[in-house]
Structure 1
């Protein structure tokens, strides 16, 4: 007679662990990698916005702003605050009715609010005063930007025929 082999619960658990262990490990690793990648994308947006907060018309700044609603989740309570702050800022950016001085002050306040909400989501301990006052923008950069703007405006006026090119002959060639 042969002894009867019956599988116990322990045997079934051992077989399940051997078969499912690697599958679960791979899935868990993929899940953790995806979460890390999501955080990295959010950090990239935040770091770009912080680095360019004194240069709000730079291409990098604008691209980062436009990535906010792609990278932050409106269904997550903390991240929803980022989306709402972005919507308020975007609404102001499109407002042409407000006086320029008032608009400029409000723009800074709303950008600071947006960056503060992002800092909270990403576990950075930046207060609003730090965000608002701790960026560096050389006066020379502002001067260059103003000069380039004036040059472009003047050239456009010339090309549209609204402004003549002034000419003056300084030294006539001498006949010898």
Structure 2
């Protein structure tokens, strides 16, 4: 057998194996990007409602799917650190001001995180669009605020911190 014959046999054996390996590599890259896109979509879709479970879940997936991107993981660490340093004592005289400041800082840090993720995924978003471009209908916002008000009031009643007012309207004669 000549060298040419050996090369033909090697090509016949190696080509299908190589093709399968290349296809697996391409599929792996696509799946990895799809997972990153799923996280980015969830965060963009819920950026106006950061307490939604989908938002929290997506934030917690950043370390897994974006581990190789230092700018993204650093931005996430800064946001997480800010969450950990929210004011804790509602009885503190500056509590509301500190809470508002922490919330505004969280918004800015989330914008920075989403901006880095957008760049990594080849989206051309600016920070103003990320911060101001979220839509939440007034009805949804009112619903969320009402739920929070009811929850807090009920907790106060159940903890014995707030009494239940009782008013007699009609007295039987």
TM-score by length of 2: 0.87
Counterpart of 1:113 in structure 2 is 112
Match of 1:29 among 10, 13, 23: 23
The range that moved more, 38-47 or 22-31, is 22-31
5+ residue gaps, structure 2, are: 88-96
Counterpart of 2:53 in structure 1 is 59
Counterpart of 1:146 in structure 2 is 145
Residue 101 of structure 1 and its aligned partner are, at CA, apart by 2.7
Residue 166 of structure 1 and its aligned partner are, at CA, apart by 2.1
| In 2, Cα distance between equivalents of 1:8 and 1:121 | 51
5+ residue gaps, structure 1, are: 1-6
Counterpart of 2:44 in structure 1 is 50
Residue 69 of structure 1 and its aligned partner are, at CA, apart by 0.7
Match of 1:81 among 61, 67, 71: 71
TM-score by length of 1: 0.86
Q: Greater Rg, structure 1 or structure 2? A: 1
| In 1, Cα distance between equivalents of 2:133 and 2:78 | 23
The range that moved more, 142-151 or 161-170, is 161-170
- Could you give the per-residue CA deviations for residues 40-97 of structure 1, whole angstroms, max 9, x where no partner exists? 00000001101111011111000000001111133xxxx2211111111111111135
Q: CA RMSD in A?
A: 1.7
| In 1, Cα distance between equivalents of 2:20 and 2:76 | 36
